[in-house]
Structure formats: structure tokens, C-alpha cells
Amino acid sequence: MARPIVYFVRHGETDWNRERRLQGQHDIPLNALGRVQAARSGELLRGLVERDGRAFADYDFVSSPLGRARETMELIRATVGLDLAEYRTDARLMEMSFGHWEGFTFAELQAREQAQLLERERDRWGFVVPGGESYALLQTRVGAWYDGLKRDCIVAAHGGVCRVLMAHLRLLERDEAVRGGGEIGQGCVYVFDGNSVARHE
């Protein structure tokens, strides 16, 4: 049986993204560029759906409940002419919690969390951030969400969610998914078909 197709959009830029601060589950709004990126993702989605001979009614629309993802989803829907409110949220798509590190840059953490940062470098996948989560824990909830999908969907969520989805589908090895694989882009669309992922921008 074919796996559902997921059109995945990372939320647009926030000021904390620009400053390279760990956002995790802090609710930071989109900035002006982020709103442009979200609308651009909507334009890309329209082209991809038309290319595939489909209609938006064929898809489930689901977002992380965090504000930056919801605003992204609503800007996408506005761009393609859909009712802003006709989507659902799923808490399993929230970004990985960075616990006590949220709000800091890694440069700022170097002075106070050096031993923990070294531990994280040894096991990026399994390291549990103080007061937060690990990528392994994030994969547990994201994997449960994906494995329960019944239809193709359009998703607005987060960079960490995209990384663990790549690992869950064995498109990248775990270490490569969280260390390499490039930046998870904003203002683009990742199409997961279960066997591969393609980035469109």
C-alpha cells in the first residue's frame, strides 16, 4: 500500500531564527520576511498541486499548534484562496523542546553549558536537552503522527520535525538527519512520498 504524500512547509522566519536563538516551543511570531516566505510556500503548493492534477480538497491540512506554524498555514491558505480557519492542529507536530536552553544562542550557551554541549556533540540524536527533549523523543511523537495518516496532507511545522521525519522514513541516517542534510529551508516545500523527499523552491 502506498504511503501518504506529505507536502511539508517549515514555518516562515521569526526574529529568533534571524538571531539564531533556540526557539523550541516558545511561541515567537513570524517577522516580515517570514510572512513573505509563507505566502511564497502557498504559491509553490498551488503549482505542485496543479502539476499533480489534484485539487486542494484532496488534502488534509494540519499544523503544529505553535503560532508561527499556524500563521504560516493561514498565509498559505489565504494565498491559494482557501478559508483561513479550515485546518486542524496536532500537538505531535510541535518543535522539539529545548527546555532551559530556549531563548539562547549556542554561542551564549558555550559559557554556561560547556559540558552539556560536549555531551550533545557525542550523541546529537539521543541527548536530552536539560528540561527538554531529544531528537529520539521527538521522533516518537512525529513517527506516531505519520504512521497514523490516512490521506495525503499539507503540513506547516518546524525544522526539527522535518529532520526526524526524514530519519523516520529512513531517507537519511539519524546522525545525518540531525547533523547534516543542510538547513531546513523556509519559503520552500518538501514533498515526502514515503520513499523519497524532494525540495521545491
At 22, the pLDDT band (50, 70, 90 cuts) reads very high
Residue 5 scores a pLDDT above 70: yes
Contact 126, 136 (CB under 8 A): yes
Question: From CA 93, how far away is CA 156, in angstroms rounded?
Answer: 9
pLDDT at residue 2, as a whole number: 81
At 179, the pLDDT band (50, 70, 90 cuts) reads confident
Question: From CA 104, how far away is CA 78, in angstroms rounded?
Answer: 33
Strand order in the sheet with 6-10: 88-89, 60-63, 153-157, 6-10, 189-192, 197-200
Global confidence as pTM = 0.95
| Residue-wise pLDDT tens digits, 70-122 | 999 999 999 999 999 999 999 999 999 999 999 999 999 998 899 999 999 99
Residue 180 scores a pLDDT above 80: no
Residue 181 scores a pLDDT above 70: no
| Residue-wise pLDDT tens digits, 24-37 | 999 999 999 999 99
CB count within 10 Å of CB 126 equals: 13
Contact 110, 78 (CB under 8 A): no
123 or 111: whose pLDDT is higher?
Answer: 123
Residues 6+ apart with CB under 8 A from 59: 7, 49, 151, 152, 153, 154
pLDDT at residue 109, as a whole number: 95
CATH number for domain 6-200, candidates 3.40.50.300, 3.40.50.1240, 3.10.20.440, 3.40.50.720: 3.40.50.1240
Residues with a known catalytic role: 11, 95
